[in-house]
Amino acid sequence: MTVVRRFNNQFPDITNIFDDFFGGDFFNTPVFPWRRASTPAVNVREDENEYVIEVAAPGMKKDDFKVEINNGVLSISAEVEDKSEEKDEEKGYTRREFCYSSFNRSFSIPKNEVDESKINAKYKDGLLIITLQKREEVKPKPSRIIEIK
């Protein structure tokens, strides 16, 4: 077991930044609190009536997303730009920070199974849910009894 001495100052000193960088924790330090994962987690599920794609994207707004279907490929993309500016004319400084993040995910959609006119998307509580209705002809049919004559 190794004992490492750290100072828990509000602003990390340069040796701690390099230690954290080479130790793999650099982007989790308070220096970069705005960093987001580049690709959100996605769940895909299927039942007898539909496919459902769930994209976990907390902190985004529904206007950040673009969902489109083209030649049997469903594309989900988003772009977010965070900007902040702090000015203090009395002390003579301006601080500007910005963060830009984007992602793009694509899924091949079985053309013969999905009714492209019945694809719906909604975003609520950090979760984008895309529902792809199956065509009636591919949905499982209930069994029927055949009368023997």
Q: pTM of the prediction? A: 0.62
Domain annotation for the chain: domains and CATH numbers: 7-36 (no CATH), 37-138 (2.60.40.790)
pLDDT at 38: 65
Query: Using one digit for the tens of pLDDT, what is the confidence trace for 76-128?
Result: 999 888 788 888 778 777 777 878 788 899 999 887 888 888 999 999 989 99
pLDDT at 30: 42
pLDDT at 22 exceeding the cut of 80: no
- Alpha helices of the chain — where are they, by DSSP H? 14-23
pLDDT at 121: 95
Distance CA 58, CA 81 (A): 14
pLDDT at 106: 92
pLDDT at 31: 42
Query: Using one digit for the tens of pLDDT, what is the confidence trace for 34-82?
Result: 444 468 889 999 998 999 999 998 888 889 999 999 988 999 999 888 7
Structure token digits, residue 137: 């002809």
Contacts 24+ apart (CB under 8 A), 30-39: 34/82, 34/97, 34/99, 35/99, 36/80, 36/99, 36/101, 38/101, 38/103, 39/103, 39/105
